[in-house]
Amino acid sequence: MDDLVTARCIVPMATNPNHHCVPGPCDPDDLIDGIIFAANYLGSTQLLSDKTPSKNIRMMQAQEAVSRIKEPEGDPQPMTEVDLFISTQRIKVLNADSQETMMDHPLRTISYIADIGNIVVLMARRRMPRTDSEENVETSEPSQDSKRQYKMICHVFESEDAQLIAQSIGQAFSVAYQEFLRANGINPEDLSQKEYSDLLNTQDMYNDDLIHFSKSENCKNVFIEKAKGEILGVVIVESGWGSILPTVIIANMMHAGPAERSGRLNIGDQIMSINGTSLVGLPLSTCQSIIKGLKNQSHVKLNIVRCPPVTTVLIRRPDLRYQLGFSVQNGIICSLMRGGIAERGGVRVGHRIIEINSQSVVATPHEKIVHILSSAVGEIHMKTMPAAMYRLLTAQEQPVYI
């Protein structure tokens, strides 16, 4: 996050000695669980912004957002009473009466914070897609990146605790960063943010997944013909949280079914779209419904990325100070730390670990897998596959074709 527009800091008495020197009005432990402020939501607006505006321009942008949303003095002001939930993970806006979620932003998406009197402005930034004419203009300029414009989405709130809200969000970023370091086995006193960032910058992201997905020979359009009323004849499973493109994977094919008859699909292929409908980011149940909806069609077009059923993982762990950043239960990866060395190495939630450093762990007890991983340093090579696919391939489950 960029620095705050206002920076009035209070140093609290932190109850957890691990959270050293985290200035702000809140106990850092409370920010991990989440705190709530009462506020009135006045509205939202969008502004255009350069990539790196100065502090003065940021404040002007915040004031512009307020002038657009706030009615003149004396005029009735539309507003909604809300609870503003702030934690080290996210900022949520809940309707104070119904407790329904009105907004839910991961903390990392908040770019700037401004408090102006009793007004708080939260600003999130996203880059605008460029038109052809904009691209032509930019290529003629010496500094292309500085000329690009972004949409700044500004949410405006009113609260007696405006200053505390702004300070608390800034403090949440600091606590979240320290928690991130600790989760990766780093003592914030021993390793600066720059040092850890420098380490991550030396590591390839997603263990060459980016290269694999970008090669045209791996991306295929597959056309399948079938009889109306005939199912496609596949079993699909999730690719796993942590995938570069979260979608579904072909885990099994019905013998002599349309998918197998085509001869163009393999177990492990990732489906990007079906008949022009993207499956990327959709829940498994939604993807299954889309495929079931093909039953009465005779022509099906799949856009796939050719992938082996087994995922190769390469984690680079300099020493034992760096925790791997994922948890395992009975050989299955249960959780993953965003942005850590494991995610960069290609670890995916929901995958079964097949091998660690060329050693099969299929029949290895949980405690031994944990010991192998916790003591490994240097390059850690693993092979994994979606746990649901593993159960199908080992006949632990019977396939249900769609």
Helix (H) / strand (E) containing 372: helix 366-375
Q: Work out the number of other CB atoms within 10 angstroms of the CB of residue 27.
A: 19
Assess whether pLDDT exceeds 80 at residue 327: yes
Beta strands in 75-217 (DSSP E): 80-86, 90-95, 101-106, 110-116, 119-127, 149-158
Does residue 117 lie within any of the structural domains?
Answer: yes
Does residue 140 lie within any of the structural domains?
Answer: no
Does residue 110 lie within any of the structural domains?
Answer: yes
- Of the candidates 308, 330, 312, 325, the one whose C-alpha atom is nearest the C-alpha of residue 389 is 308
Same domain for 158 and 60: yes
Domain CATH number, residue 54: 2.30.29.30
Hey, which of 123-137, 231-245, 306-320 has the most confident mean pLDDT? 306-320
Does residue 15 lie within any of the structural domains?
Answer: no
Q: Are 224 and 243 in contact (CB under 8 A)?
A: no
Could you tell me the CA-to-CA distances from 285 to 247, 379, 398 in Å, in that order? 12, 37, 18
Residues forming beta bridges with residue 378, ordered by sequence position: 317
Type of residue numbered 265? L
The per-residue pLDDT for 136 is 33
CA 396 to chain centre: 32
Same domain for 185 and 246: no
Q: Are 176 and 289 in contact (CB under 8 A)?
A: no
Same domain for 191 and 278: no
Report the distance separating Cα 389 and Cα 397, nearest Å.
9
Same domain for 381 and 274: no
Report the distance separating Cα 224 and Cα 261, nearest Å.
9
Same domain for 78 and 156: yes
Same domain for 174 and 155: yes
Number of domains in the chain: 3
Does residue 369 lie within any of the structural domains?
Answer: yes
Which of 284, 306, 328 is where one domain is finished? 306
Same domain for 163 and 188: yes
Same domain for 363 and 272: no
Report the distance separating Cα 336 and Cα 323, nearest Å.
11
The per-residue pLDDT for 376 is 92
Beta strands in 136-182 (DSSP E): 149-158
pLDDT tens-digit series, residues 63-83: 999 999 988 888 888 999 999
The per-residue pLDDT for 153 is 85
pLDDT tens-digit series, residues 104-130: 888 877 877 888 889 999 987 654 444
CA 350 to chain centre: 16
Report the distance separating Cα 208 and Cα 3, nearest Å.
33
Does residue 136 lie within any of the structural domains?
Answer: no
Domain span including residue 196: 28-127+149-202
Which of 140, 171, 202 is where one domain is finished? 202
How many degrees, rounded to 5, is the angle at CA 157 between CA 155 and CA 160? 155
Which of 306, 335, 364 is where one domain is finished? 306
Domain CATH number, residue 334: 2.30.42.10
pLDDT tens-digit series, residues 277-286: 888 778 888 9
The per-residue pLDDT for 15 is 38
Assess whether pLDDT exceeds 60 at residue 53: yes
Same domain for 68 and 175: yes
Does residue 246 lie within any of the structural domains?
Answer: yes
Same domain for 336 and 250: no
Answer with the residue of higher pLDDT: 378 or 9: 378
The per-residue pLDDT for 163 is 86
Same domain for 230 and 179: no
Does residue 217 lie within any of the structural domains?
Answer: yes
Average pLDDT (4-13) is 31
Q: Which of 74-88, 153-167, 339-353 has the lowest mean pLDDT?
A: 339-353
Assess whether pLDDT exceeds 50 at residue 137: no
The per-residue pLDDT for 383 is 94
- Of the candidates 128, 116, 126, 150, the one whose C-alpha atom is nearest the C-alpha of residue 42 is 116
Same domain for 94 and 222: no
Type of residue numbered 378? G
The per-residue pLDDT for 8 is 29
The per-residue pLDDT for 283 is 84
pLDDT tens-digit series, residues 12-41: 333 344 544 456 788 888 888 889 999 999
The per-residue pLDDT for 267 is 93
